[in-house]
Amino acid sequence: MIAKSKSKTTENLLGEIKNTKNTEDLGKYLGENNGDMLVSLKYRLSNLLSQKDKSRKDVKERGGLTDYNDQIFNGWRNPNRDKLIRVILGLEANIDEAQELLRLAVLKELDPRDPRDAVIISCINSRMNGIDTDLRLDKLGFKPLK
């Protein structure tokens, strides 16, 4: 999970929490900072589906996923990194959305210094699907997405 930094940094928020003296203060803090609070992976995936006008079936097919896809979207299972990357490819998410989803799932972000990640970043930027991403990874000598 990540904090959405609209106007305050994590340090600013932590400072405000340190200054709360009672339940009323904490309630006020939560109300005032609602837009900066954490969101769940399930919520963000649902939001992206809606924003991108995609169905779960579209994401499943485009990403090359199994029925495991529904368990991810329902919040029943936490995906491993490669499964979430397949969801990202299926959503046609941009790199910023991809990194956000990986952070929300508490998974390692894509690192352009990692050769396999560099290929995956290129595939995300090119709006490639899961199968084409696997083919590109294989062609360049990397293991395909799980």
Encode pLDDT of 65-114 as tens digits. Answer: 877 777 888 888 889 999 999 999 999 999 999 999 999 999 999 999 99
Distances (CA, A) of 79 to 17, 40, 61, 123: 32, 13, 17, 20
Tokens standing for 138? 């294989």
Q: What CATH code is assigned to 41-139? A: 1.10.260
Q: Where are the chain's structural domains?
A: 1-38, 41-139
Quote the pLDDT of residue 34: 74
Label residue 97 exposed, middle or buried (CB < 10 Å: 0-12, 13-18, 19+).
Answer: middle
Closest of 61, 51, 70, 108 to residue 89, by C-alpha = 61
Encode pLDDT of 23-40 as tens digits. Answer: 988 888 888 887 677 688
Q: Does residue 122 surpass a pLDDT of 50?
A: yes
Q: Does residue 1 surpass a pLDDT of 50?
A: no
Share of residues in the chain with pLDDT > 70 (%):
93
